[in-house]
Amino acid sequence: MRLLIMGPQGVGKGTQAAQLSEHYSIPAISTGDIFRYNLKNKTELGKEAGAYIEKGELVPDELTNRIVEDRLAKDDAKNGWILDGYPRNASQVEALDTILAKLGTPLDAVVALDAERGILLERMKKRAQIEGRSDDTPDVIAKRLDVYEKETAPLLKAYEERGVLVTVNGVGDISEIAHSIFDKLDAKTA
């Protein structure tokens, strides 16, 4: 199964991607984790990406597209994957379509998690305290949520028109949310 998991920052994409990964025995691929790894290890990519991330800006599409294509071509992703944090804009949707066509691997579904902005702000504030993430300051969080609403949320309509969108409330018990996703995916792909 090849899945995208989408939603605003703080909605629980990473948590649910891990649940999906375990349930379907496919890797969860987070562009955020890839960038954080490179930042921590001070790679050239990390230095380049860090300048954007620290300002609450998104890493340029060209750089992100190359990383995603390389990762999806790895052996562990041959039987499926969950992609978290990509695509974030219309240009990246086009790039992903091209990548998937080149790999001969169609997209099965897009899981969209949603929650109210106030809940997201509280979750991210808590995450910043627990994980000590320097990229989760109140100003950066608010800016990222605004960018999501402007650039990424409209992509859900495009995926809905393609008939691959599954929408799930991202608030509640982790296990209950996961089972709601499994049920909706099973019904869609049956």
Percent of the chain with pLDDT over 90: 55
φ, ψ (nearest 5 deg) of residue 13: -60, -45
Prediction pTM value: 0.84
Q: Dump pLDDT digits (tens) for 61-85.
A: 988 888 888 888 889 999 999 999 8
For residue 146, what are its two tokens? Answer: 């605004």
pLDDT 10s digits, 18-50: 999 999 999 999 987 777 777 888 878 788 888
* pLDDT the model gives residue 135: 67
Asked, for residue 75, whether it belongs to a domain, the answer is yes
Distance CA 70, CA 15 (A): 23
Round to whole Å and give the CA distance between 20 and 173. 15
- Number of domains, the chain: 1
- Asked if residue 158 belongs to a domain, the reply is yes
Q: What angle do CA 125, 131, 133 make, to 5 degrees?
A: 70
- CATH code, 81: 3.40.50.300
Residue 138 belongs to a domain: yes
Instruction: Report the catalytic residues.
Output: 13, 88, 127, 133, 144
State residue 126's pLDDT score. 85
